[in-house]
Structure formats: structure tokens, C-alpha cells
Structure 1
């Protein structure tokens, strides 16, 4: 490898002249472009951070709204459940009252029928007693006949 010093020296001089020309005429423009690009990148990073923060805030807000909706749904469900239980209890109470009323009416009807039957039995007993008395008075009664009439009376009354 043969290195020529004069070529090397001329290359270095040319390089420094080129750097001086670039520095004199283009360096400020290149610096401005680089600075502009750096500012753009910084702005985009700041905007990305702001957007990320907004997204986080929206997420938190949406979570609060969702939780609020869930709570409201639970409240509505509980209110409806309480109302349904109240209506259910009213229906049960009404049914119990109606059943008691029916039972009372049935007891009253049974009592009336019982009284009517007792009245009929008494009436028949009286009629039979009157009939027996009439027969007893119509005939002269001896002891055997008397026993037979009483036996017939008991048979007819059903005692």
C-alpha cells in the first residue's frame, strides 16, 4: 500500500473547504430542518401523551358510568322484587280472607241445615208423639200394647 502524502493532504484540504462551504451556506438550513423535525417529533410525543391521558380518562369515566348503570339496574330490580313480593302477599292475604269468608259461610250454612234438621226431627217426634197419643187414647191400652207402641215410636224416631 502506497499512500501518497500529497493526495492525502489535498483530500484533507478539499474536505475542510467543503465543510467550511457547507457550514457557511447550508449549516443553518440543515440545523433548522433538524430542529424543525425535532420539534415535530416532540409535539407528536406530547400529543400522544395527551391522547393517552384522554383515553385513560374516558376509560375511567366509562367504568364509572357502567358501574352507575349496574347499581341503577340493581336498585330497579330490588324495587320490582319488593313490589312483586308486596303484590304476592296481597294476593295471599286476599285468598286467605276469601277462604275464611267461605269457611264462615259454610259454617253458617251447616248450622242452619243442622237447625233445620233438628227442627224437622223435633217436628216428626212431636207428630209421632201426637199420633201415638191419639192411638193410645183411641184404644184401651194394656201393658203389651203400650210397650209395642213405644217400640214403634222408637223405631220411627230412629233412636
Structure 2
């Protein structure tokens, strides 16, 4: 039993030595392992925080770019609508101008045609008057040359009327 008792007995120097050994071992582990492991864990934590920070920054930049894109798109749609409205108004004005020019041209052509018709009518009337005057002079000349009886007078009138029919 003595053999067993020596294993279980308390020896003050062994205890002091064991406690000192524990402190030395703890200091060595802390100095060589714990500080370095903590430094590695801190570096990893900083790297992860940096990655999360970069991701958050990229997310906020993407959100800002998205808002800017949507604003530009809305501006582009508004600008396109304005361009379409402007082009529509210009086309409408040009169409009205073309119609107005066509009406003016048609009116001027109508006036020229009417004026030409009036001139032609006056010229035709003058020609008819000249012919009638010539015929009247011819009849008067014949009347003077001959004495006219009523039958002869009737015949001259019919010749005169038929001459007018040929002239027209």
C-alpha cells in the first residue's frame, strides 16, 4: 500500500514545482501560441470585416448607380417624349404651311384663269361686234345698191342670220 500511498500523498515541493511548471508552460503557450493565434484570428476577422465593408460599399455604389440609371432613363424618356412632341408640332406646322401654300397657289391659278377667260370673252365679243359691224355695213351697202322689196329684205335677213350662225 505504501506504493500506492506515495502516488496519492501531498509533497509540498512537488506541488510548488508543478505550479511553477504550470505558470511557465502557460506563459510559454501564451507567448508562443495564444498571442500568435489571436493575431491570426484578428487578422482573419479584419479581412472578413474588410470583405463585408467592401461588399457593403459595392452594394451602396450599385444602388447609387441604379438610382442614377433610373433617373437617366426617366430623363431620356422625357427627352424622347419632348423630341416626339417637337417633331409632331413641326410636322403639323409644315403640313399646314404646305396646305396653305397649295390653297394660295390654287387661288392664284383660279384668278389667272378667270382673268384669262374674261379677256377671251372680251376679245370674242369684240370680234363678233366687228363681224356684225362688217355684215351690217355689207347689208347697208347692198341695200343702197338695190332697192329692196319685202321678199328681198326677208332673204337678206335670213342670210345675215345664217352668216351669224357660221361665224359662231
Counterpart in 2 of 1:34? 41
2:119 is the counterpart of 1:140: no
Question: Normalization by structure 1: what TM-score?
Answer: 0.80
Larger radius of gyration: 2
Between the aligned partners of 1:66 and 1:124, the Cα distance in structure 2 is 85
Over the residues paired in the alignment, what is the CA RMSD in angstroms? 1.9
Counterpart in 1 of 2:117? 110
Between the aligned partners of 1:132 and 1:64, the Cα distance in structure 2 is 100
Counterpart in 1 of 2:5? none
| Deviation at residue 22 of structure 1 after TM alignment | 3.2
Between the aligned partners of 1:53 and 1:154, the Cα distance in structure 2 is 109
| Deviation at residue 24 of structure 1 after TM alignment | 5.8
Unaligned segments of structure 2, at least 5 residues:
1-21
Between the aligned partners of 2:117 and 2:60, the Cα distance in structure 1 is 84
Question: Normalization by structure 2: what TM-score?
Answer: 0.76
Between the aligned partners of 1:67 and 1:112, the Cα distance in structure 2 is 67
Unaligned segments of structure 1, at least 5 residues:
1-16
**Which segments of structure 1 move beyond 4 Å, counting only runs of 4 or more?**
none
